[in-house]
Structure 1
């Protein structure tokens, strides 16, 4: 991240050139279905050039069908979207942080810009939830359009909720309602980017806020948090789509200390294994499903304990774990560092790879971070 990038001042693949409708009638035209299969195998970084071929190709490249085909044939390129403290615009990082760009200004009001926000991805949509003067709203950035759009709002607007990206859809659950009673919720919803809609899911067994979500074994897990009485929850639960119901997992976090004012649990799933970053000890743990227990895998190379887990990004990045935060040797928290590793639950310690430092570009304190795999 300390290097320069040709994408720094604009969206990746953006161009001032306009699609051309030249006369290619002497060439045989590919059917849209075949063209999409070919385009799906082209790196997304080249889409900006292909958009200029003609208006037909521009439409194909912006179609939701293209992302579905890429996912079906296993061609996925993760992008990291991040908003750091002191920044007014979101950053997008690609190719393991080798290239980066700024997103357009998010056209919200000042209340939204200055307040706390929560983010997650669904398909090619980055969704950012926060509070405007009129109430809680959701803004979405559509990668193919390279634009921000407002809405649609959740069925039950909320904050401090669990969220998870499940490829071509996303789910949210729990949190604090925005009504006059500030009710702790047990409701859940599913967002589908193809039709830009929210649909209700069955209610969880327990009401919880400050909880975290993950997607494992094709199930939506909600872990930890606090109930309506402010009691810390060590249980988790998951939504089984086949049964259309939530199943409780008692004592899922029984081995993890829960300090006061901590962030929601820092969890990520890689290769269908659940990992947790303990913000009180900076230790990485892997969840052992059969025994409902956790195994330590050594320390992470960032200071997760500096702000009790707040300001740290802990995400899955394809087949790797990604952690972003203040440098381990910095007791003031200054200096952002970015690390990845390929976790192995059978190892005692993991080998972390440093991807660089963002200390000269942005604050070490990460406000929001989401990974889009398309």
Structure 2
């Protein structure tokens, strides 16, 4: 349950399997502000939530850790409506309180786990009732706004589910205009872009150049112009204001070294030849492992366990040294490579743990001017990261 004591929100755990440690910094700020607000009223120590001014409610709860928000819906209808309006998350952005959260699913898990950026706390998401086929089929995940979008191939076809952080619930749909998997995706603001992949029908599998955009506020899909090339097993990112789709394979299962960039202002695509010409590409390897830090693109050469940095002006890349995980063993599959603030985050089977099933977690603050990158290992105190990681994406909330 939730109590408002002296305008300080106290949120008690009502979901036994959603363990999450408090974020001390945010709680400290909450108490400090709430105590200063308390002097504005001459009421008794215990206040009924509806008596709080709407602005004060938003200001206070914007400082509560995000994993706790779903509990507000049980206080009263007013707080439930507040959550659905997304006003709290807008206020967090305005106040600079947005933080990154990792959403991951490993091969042995039946539920996603949410971690904070330092892997000090974790929370299990509710079970997704989707049948056995969900865990055996291809899955793709993308975070956009405060939603986790999961698209997978089931026996009934390609399905879409979304997890909404504010409500701590899974919702079905909405379905894509052209359902497909193994696409490239990236999010920007309230929109997520999905490019390429392959469709499945009674006529077989077809690699496509189709591109769609999903909006979290309207929960609708819209078509945008197709790419120049059909491609699957490709990767996407936003770089210098444009949506990039990199690498992958064409309809003949041939590796593509080209990329394409989409400009929303001109609503058009530009083909970028030989963007991956310096990379070692092999059969059956994972989609390109890419991450963007400070508008600079970094890539993993998983065959050689090397990190490269891309120069957008010369369309070339250079080596920045080796990585501390054995990406070559699985050809990049099961390896997590993401950007968080000014850091690169890398998760995979560590060279330091050859006989252990635990994943190593590493971070580094890169620069395109450095000669060799240095990695710092992080201790995962929010629960051990075992096994092979199937899906991972980062939410800013």
Paired positions, count: 360
Give me the whole-angstrom Cα distance separating, in 2, the residues matched to 1:146 and 1:130: 20
Is 1:229 paired with 2:233?
A: no
Please state whether the residue corresponding to 1:66 is helix, strand or coil: helix
**Compared with structure 1, are the counterparts of its residues 211 and 49 closer, same or farther at alpha carbon in structure 2 (3 Å cutoff)?**
closer
Q: Determine the structure 1 residue equivalent to 2:27.
A: none
Deviations 1:49-96 (A, max 9, x none): 766765423432343233234335543211101011111111110141
Structure 1 counterpart of 2:338, from 315, 327, 345 = 315
Counterpart for residue 9 of structure 1: 17
Residue 315 of structure 1: how far off its partner (Å): 0.9
Contact 2:117 2:340 in 1 (8 A): no
CA apart distance, 1:347: 1.2
Partner of 2:308, secondary structure, is strand
2:146 paired with 1:138: no
Structure 1 residues 52 and 149, CA gap change in structure 2 (3 angstroms): closer
Q: 1:86 to 1:295 in 2, by over 3 A?
A: same
Which of the residues 361, 376, 393 maps onto 1:338? Answer: 361
Query: Which of the numbers 69, 79, 84 marks the counterpart of 1:57?
Result: 79
Once residues 117 and 316 of structure 1 are traced to their aligned partners in structure 2, the CA distance between those partners, rounded to angstroms, is 21
* Superposition pairs of residues 1-374 of structure 1, within 5 angstroms: 9-10=17-18, 12=20, 23=48, 29-32=52-55, 35-37=57-59, 39-44=61-66, 47=69, 54-179=76-201, 180-331=203-354, 334-356=357-379, 361-374=384-397
Check 1:349–1:8 CA distance in 2 against 1; reply closer, same or farther (3 A cut): farther
Structure 1 pair 126/229, CA: closer, same or farther in 2 (3 Å)?
Answer: same
**TM-score normalized with structure 1 length:** 0.88
For the residues of structure 2 that align with 1:185 and 1:65, how far apart are their CA atoms?
38
Give secondary structure in 2 for the equivalent of 1:182. strand
Q: Please, what is the CA RMSD of the aligned residues?
A: 2.7
Q: Note the residue ranges of structure 2 that are not aligned, 5 or more in a row.
A: 1-12, 23-45
Where in structure 1 are there 5+ consecutive unaligned residues?
1-5, 15-20
Given the two structures, how large is their TM-score scaled by the length of structure 2?
A: 0.83
Are the aligned partners of 1:191 and 1:199 in contact in 2 as well (CA < 8 Å)? yes
Q: 8 Å contact 1:79–1:373 — kept in the other structure?
A: yes
Alpha-carbon distance in 2 for matches of 1:69, 1:235: 40
